[in-house]
A and B are shown apart, each in its own frame.
Chain A
């Protein structure tokens, strides 16, 4: 093969690689994500894992205290052994009537075991955001009441609250300025002032709700 042909062959290989990259992808089934999420339930962390995570969080908060990994492990083991030596269980009962929203952003319901109140977990991903709050009719639209927790090293924000059954409208307030709807919500409604709010309905029947439509928010 002469030099010209070698160059042509190299170009051909590059173009083939490009052609593979451009191959059409299979069409995703419309309701794949909600169907998957409907089949899974929250995991129950082991006592040792809970202790370890508690210690990790404590270490992150205790900035003034220099403590090594080995010490942290020892603390975790002490707490774990103390917790397992107790006869009574301090573990929360597994939630029943779990409901996962149609999308990852949005909310998850679980029976709290306390009357008609339901545990609702809002989960949202806002790349680059520093602070996200859930504001809505359940907190008089006050940004400071339900500030979401940002997972360390990620742009996923989550917050779990207990809400009585009822109908609520809400939105995400990103960095105190940007109002974002939760497009995973089953319903959206105009607030009459040019904004759209998301609607959350918590029913009495163990928190069961219909899975919603897919939404376009990138994750």
Chain B
């Protein structure tokens, strides 16, 4: 992610240039909408919550420490909005859980070669990541899909740098176990 111009953009917004906020919206609407989609699994709610997150972020921009990274701050705020929404609906966040029965049905039973993981479809991968629990899933998404630094992920999720590293390591290993070892491709 490019942060080079964000301090100036935020200064401009605070000076009254509302239109400059569109640059930040355009830059981060995709990851925030992705977060909301993962959280509520409903396209309409995801759209509404994304809008809400950006509007609330704009309203609270005076509280943002100019010079800091904008996205981790926006992400934290968005995550809280999504959690509030789930709470109001009486729904719970995704806890770490066992995969549902039949998850492995369509994964080919073959030895673990380099091509195996490439055959995993995205739905299976999403489901497996959900099974890791919300925070581990989000750490992996932020690291590998959004390309955030370890420090930025720690800031966004309000956890320590070492906790981020541990979740990345354990999360990937658990996915490997799910998709490779479970098929029996690895020798003990």
A55–chain B nearest beta-carbon distance, Å: 13
Size of B's binding interface in residues, CB under 8 A: 59
Cα distance, A90 to B46, chains bound together (Å): 43
| CB neighbours of A36 from chain B (8 A) | 22, 25, 29, 51, 54-55
Asked whether A69 is an interface residue with its Cβ less than 8 Å from the other chain, the reply is: no
Interface band, chain A = 35 or more
**Besides A12-B179, A23-B145, 5 other A-B contacts (C-beta < 8 A):** A5-B187, A12-B117, A32-B51, A33-B26, A105-B22
Which residues of A does B touch, CB under 8 Å? 1-2, 5, 8-9, 11-13, 15-21, 23-29, 32-33, 35-37, 39-45, 49, 53, 98, 100-101, 103-108, 121, 123, 125, 151-156, 158, 219
Among residues of B, the one whose C-beta sits closest to the C-beta of A37 is B22
Q: A15 with B114: in contact, given A103-B22, A156-B9 (CB under 8 Å)?
A: yes
The residue that B5 contacts in the complex, of A18, A21, A43, A155, with Cβ under 8 A, is: A155
User: In whole angstroms, how far apart are the Cα atoms of A26 and B27 in the complex?
Assistant: 15
Give A15 to B59 CA distance when docked, in angstroms.
41
**In the complex, which residue of chain B has the Cβ closest to the Cβ of A125?**
B23
Q: Which residues of A contact B114 (CB under 8 A)?
A: 11, 15
In the complex, A107 Cα to B33 Cα: how many Å?
25
**A20 and B20 contacting across the interface, CB-CB below 8 Å:** no
List, in ascending order, chain B residues with CB within 8 A of A9's CB. 176, 180, 186
In angstroms, Cα B21 to Cα A19, docked, is: 32
Interface string of B85-129 (1 = CB under 8 A from A): 000000000000000000000000000101001101010011001
Q: List 8 A-B contacts (CB under 8 A).
A: A11-B114, A20-B129, A36-B22, A36-B29, A36-B55, A43-B16, A100-B18, A156-B8
**Also in contact, A33 and B141, with CB within 8 A (given A16-B176, A23-B122, A45-B14):** no
B34: interface (CB < 8 Å): yes
Check B8–A15 contact: CB distance below 8 A. Answer: no
CB of B13 within 8 A of chain A?
yes
Q: A15-B118, A36-B51, A106-B19 are in contact. Are A151 and B145 (CB under 8 A)?
A: no
Residues from chain A with a CB closer than 8 A to the CB of B76 are: none
Asked whether any CB of chain A lies closer than 8 Å to the CB of B153, the reply is no
Residues of B within 8 A of A45 (CB): 14-16
Partner pick for A39 among B34, B37, B51, B118, CB 8 A cutoff: B51
Name the residue among A53, A104, A219 with the largest chain B CB count within 10 angstroms: A104
Nearest B residue to A95, CB-CB: B16
The number of inter-chain residue pairs (CB within 8 angstroms) is 170
The answer on a CB contact under 8 Å between B20 and A40 is: no
Shortest beta-carbon distance, A142 to chain B, in Å? 24
B73 proximity list for chain A (CB < 8 A): none
Nearest first, the 6 closest Cβ-Cβ pairs linking A and B are A104-B22, A154-B5, A26-B37, A20-B144, A15-B117, A42-B18
Interchain nearest-CB distance for A70 vs B (Å) = 19
CB <8 Å contact, B55 and A39: yes
- Which of B33, B55, B114, B117 counts the most chain A CB atoms within 10 A? B117
Known contacts A37-B22, A219-B22, A154 near B55 by CB under 8 Å: no
CA A45 to CA B21, docked complex, whole Å: 15
In the bound complex, do residue B61 and residue A156 qualify as a contact, i.e. CB atoms below 8 Å apart? no
Q: Is B131 an interface residue when CB atoms closer than 8 A count as contact?
A: no
Interface residues in B52-86 by Cβ distance below 8 A to A read 54-55, 58-59, 61-62
Given contacts A25-B34, A154-B8, contact A121 B19 (CB under 8 A): yes
Cα A33 to Cα B46 with chains together (Å): 14
Of the candidates B4, B50, B180, the one whose C-beta lies within 8 Å of that of A12 is B180
Contacts of A32 in B (CB 8 A): 25, 29, 33, 47, 50-51
